[in-house]
Amino acid sequence: MEPFRVHILGCGSALPTMRHFPTSQIVECRGKLFMVDCGEGTQLQMRKSSLSFTKLGHIFISHYHGDHCFGLIGMISTFGLLGRTATLNIYAPEALNEILKKQIAFFCRDLDYEIKFNTVDTNEHQVIYEDRSLTVETIPLHHRPSCCGYLFREKPTLPHIRRDMIECYQIPVSQINNIKNGQNYVLPDGTVVPNERLVTPADPARAYAYCSDTKYMPELHRLLHGVTTLYHESTYATDNLAMAEKYNHSTAQQAAMVARDAGVKQLLLGHYSSRYPDEKILLEEARQIFENVRLTNEMDVINV
Active site residues: 67
Taking the CB of residue 126, how many other CB atoms lie within 10 A of it? 12
DSSP string over 94-131: HHHHHHHHHHHHHH-TT-SS-EEEEE--TT---EEEE-
Residue 183 neighbours by CB under 8 Å, 6+ apart: 175, 195
CA dist list (Å): 164 to 80, 168, 204: 51, 6, 23
Sign for the CA dihedral angle at 162, 163, 168, 173 comes to positive
* Closest listed residue to residue 113, CA positions, set 67, 53, 195: 53
Is residue 271 left, alpha or beta, with left meaning phi > 0 and alpha meaning psi from -120 to 50?
left
Whole-angstrom distance, CA of residue 255 vs CA of residue 235 = 10
* Beta carbons within 10 angstroms of residue 257's beta carbon: 20
